[in-house]
Amino acid sequence: MSKFINEKTAKLTPYVPGEQPQDKKYVKLNTNESPFPPSAFAVKFATEESLRSELYPDPEYNSLVSVAAEKFGLKKENLLFTNGSDEALNYAFAAYCSGRKAVFADITYGFYRVFADLYSSETKIIPLSEDFSVVPEDYFNAGGTVFIANPNAPTGKVLSIKEILSVVGSNPENVVVIDEAYIDFGGESVLPYVNDYENLIVVRTFSKSRSLAGARVGFAAANEKLIADLKTVKYSTNPYNMSRISAAMAVGALIDEDYFTANCKKVIENRAFTTEELKKIGFTVLDSKANFVFAKKDGLSGNAVYEGLKERGVLVRYFDKPRINDYVRITIGSKDDCVALISAAKSVVKESL
Ligand code: PMP
């Protein structure tokens, strides 16, 4: 840290991305990426678009927004595309948390805490229940901007549309942000409801179910007024917030519905396989509707499982945090990845006996 940094920035604890070790090739199940390559359409459009890279992109990304509006049954004014969904969350924190409380769970996506600190937002932290469920009633009249990941991360547990809308409806004075990064793997989306509520923002990503983590594409969906708020932040920070190549890839990913559906189905099947096999060797596995599972093995710490798997060439994510340090989060990969994980997990368990 230099002597020039300001006091506030110096005190921040930044987000720590999942590791990307270069020492050898791992079965990489630690950052919830898709195991499948981008759609062939996405690759074709990216190649074509790259030839126009001397030009700035359309800052409104009209082509992409039109395709997305049609796909999701929304108006163009309901959508704002962003550089990954982290950027959509950043805009929401900037617009609604500076000077207001941010309300979120004790165990959820780690970036909420980082953004809250960045914008000097006070926080109201709501513990998950004993079984790691988000309890909707705990968020009624929350007294600040609410952020709920649904399915939640890293637990994978999901709330129903009815439960989510009960939170939105009971917070007329607060914006409620529903982060649906993992919704395509078995949850029910509240995207169709954005025009029914004054205060609902849905955040989505193309990093998981649409195989574009490397392209950095996400979006916020909400009524026109909320989108206008978020655009104020965008045009005050980075008007051309996505590259034209990424925007073109996003169009390709959106139109290739069959590929998307088939990949989600495979992840769901592989999740069932992984859950069952882990249970057979004594793991407790939470019921997940995401592209990962959260699992623990009695008698082994989360760190021991993480280290044991890493030694055997399989990377998973371990969080050294109260309540969850017995667990590891395991991304659902291809069938081969899942088979490799199970074989490594068997070996770790055997060694511990
Ligand atoms: N929300 C949640 C709950 C996540 O787990 C992630 C992935 N780290 C994100 C948002 C951000 O994803 P991205 O910026 O790649 O769209």
Atom of ligand 1 nearest to the CA of 213: 15
Last residue of a domain, one of 236, 255, 274: 255
pTM value surpassing 0.95 = yes
Q: How many domains does the chain have?
A: 2
Burial class of 206 by CB neighbour count within 10 A (0 to 12, 13 to 18, 19+): buried
Q: Assess contact for 55 and 244: CB atoms under 8 A.
A: yes
Tell me which residue has tokens 């139109």. Answer: 255
Q: Does residue 12 lie in a domain region?
A: no
Answer yes or no: do 53 and 125 share one domain: yes
Answer yes or no: do 52 and 32 share one domain: no
Answer yes or no: do 271 and 329 share one domain: yes
Q: What pLDDT does residue 19 have? A: 87
Mean pLDDT by 10 residues, the chain (353 residues): 95 91 92 98 98 98 98 98 98 95 97 97 98 98 98 98 98 98 98 98 98 98 98 98 98 98 98 98 98 97 97 96 96 98 97 90
Q: Does residue 11 lie in a domain region?
A: no
Answer yes or no: do 206 and 268 share one domain: no
Written as six digits, the tokens of 38 are: 């981008």
Q: Give the CA radius of gyration of the chain.
A: 20
Q: What pLDDT does residue 23 have? A: 85
Answer yes or no: do 263 and 221 share one domain: no
Q: Does residue 207 lie in a domain region?
A: yes
Answer yes or no: do 56 and 174 share one domain: yes
CB atoms within 10 A of CB 277: 18
CA 153 – CA 282 distance, rounded (Å): 23
User: What range defines the domain where residue 331 resides?
Assistant: 17-37+258-352
Neighbouring residues of 110: CB distance < 8 A, sequence distance ≥ 6: 15, 16, 319
Q: Does residue 2 lie in a domain region?
A: no
* CA 292 to centroid of ligand 1, rounded, Å: 13
In degrees, rounded to 5, the angle at the alpha carbon of residue 179 between the alpha carbons of residues 176 and 181 is 170
In angstroms, the Cα distances linking 136 to 92, 169, 349 are 21, 11, 37
The domain that holds 207 is classified in CATH as 3.40.640.10
Q: b/e map of 70-103 (b: 16 or more CB within 10 Å)?
A: eebebeeebbbbbbbbbbbbbbbbbbbbeebbbb
Q: Check pocket membership of 151 for ligand 1, CB cut-off 6 A.
A: no
Answer yes or no: do 200 and 280 share one domain: no
* Residue 172 preceded by cis peptide, ω within 30: no
Answer yes or no: do 161 and 221 share one domain: yes
Determine what percent of the chain falls in helix, strand and coil, rounding each to the nearest 5: 40, 15, 45
Q: What pLDDT does residue 117 have? A: 97
Q: Does residue 3 lie in a domain region?
A: no
Q: Check pocket membership of 212 for ligand 1, CB cut-off 6 A.
A: no
Answer yes or no: do 217 and 144 share one domain: yes
Q: Check pocket membership of 213 for ligand 1, CB cut-off 6 A.
A: yes
Q: Check pocket membership of 85 for ligand 1, CB cut-off 6 A.
A: yes
Q: What pLDDT does residue 113 have? A: 97
Answer yes or no: do 149 and 231 share one domain: yes
Q: What pLDDT does residue 185 have? A: 98
Q: For the residues of 281-338, what is the DSSP string, one character each?
A: TTEEE----SSEEEEEETTS-HHHHHHHHHHTTEE-EE---TTTTTEEEEE---HHHH
Answer yes or no: do 62 and 176 share one domain: yes
Answer yes or no: do 79 and 31 share one domain: no
The domain that holds 306 is classified in CATH as 3.90.1150.10
Last residue of a domain, one of 240, 255, 270: 255
